[in-house]
């Protein structure tokens, strides 16, 4: 599947606590719209929230003049959430393992680890500024 999947709908949110506070209601409205089983809600919400937090904190460097995009798309039985920031990107092929002994005390690196473990798939594009998180639940 291509990382250039058309996003069905999206919202642009501010890179601050106000923007992050809107993530849960957006995700919930998408899950309700598609009748996603409530057993999946927690994993989806945590994965998408972590991606949004990373977009604000790491991608946009907490710059309130920048926004991040949160959207979704559907391909067959797959529901994809898309998160994109306005940062310069990062090397997503070289992410340290937060469970490695040398990284246990570090404050960063757990968001992508959670996404990898809670989602059915994920794909970075646009030099790491765009993340598609996939759930095979429809």
Q: Is the pTM of this model over 0.85?
A: yes
Kindly report, residue by residue over 108-130, the tens digit of the pLDDT: 778 999 999 999 999 999 999 99
Phi, psi (5° rounding) for residue 67?
-125, 165
Mind listing the pLDDT tens digit for each residue in 7-16?
678 999 999 9
Map out the domains of the chain as residue ranges: 9-136
| Residues 29-80 pLDDT 10s | 999 999 999 999 999 999 999 999 999 999 999 999 999 999 999 999 999 9
Whether the CB-CB separation of 78 and 60 falls below 8 Å is answered with no
Q: What DSSP assignment string belongs to 19-61?
A: HHHTHHHHHHHHHHHHT--GGGHHHHHHHHHHHHHHIIIIIST
Q: Please name every residue paired with 18 in a beta bridge, in sequence order, or none if there are none.
A: none
In the predicted structure, residue 135 carries a pLDDT above the cut 80: yes
DSSP class of 74: E
* The architecture CATH gives domain 9-136: 2-Layer Sandwich (3.30)
* Residue 4: Cβ within 10 Å count: 10
Q: What is the distance between the alpha carbons of residues 53 and 34, in angstroms, rounded to a whole number?
A: 24
CA distances from 88 to 19, 120, 130 (A): 20, 26, 11
Q: How many angstroms separate the Cα of 89 from the Cα of each of 18, 31, 32, 54?
A: 23, 29, 32, 11
């Amino acid at each position: 599947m291509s990382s250039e999947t058309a996003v069905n709908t999206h919202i642009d949110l501010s890179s601050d606590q106000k923007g992050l506070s809107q993530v849960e209601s957006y995700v919930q409205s998408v899950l309700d719209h598609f009748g996603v089983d409530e057993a999946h809600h927690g994993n989806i919400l945590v994965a998408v929230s972590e991606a949004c937090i990373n977009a604000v904190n790491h991608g946009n460097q907490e710059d309130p003049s920048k926004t991040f995009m949160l959207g979704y798309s559907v391909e067959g039985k797959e529901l994809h959430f898309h998160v994109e920031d306005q940062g310069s990107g990062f090397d997503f092929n070289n992410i340290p393992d937060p469970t490695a002994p040398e990284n246990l005390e570090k404050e960063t690196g757990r968001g992508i680890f959670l996404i990898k473990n809670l989602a059915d798939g994920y794909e970075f594009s646009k030099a790491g500024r765009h993340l598609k998180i996939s759930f095979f639940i429809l």
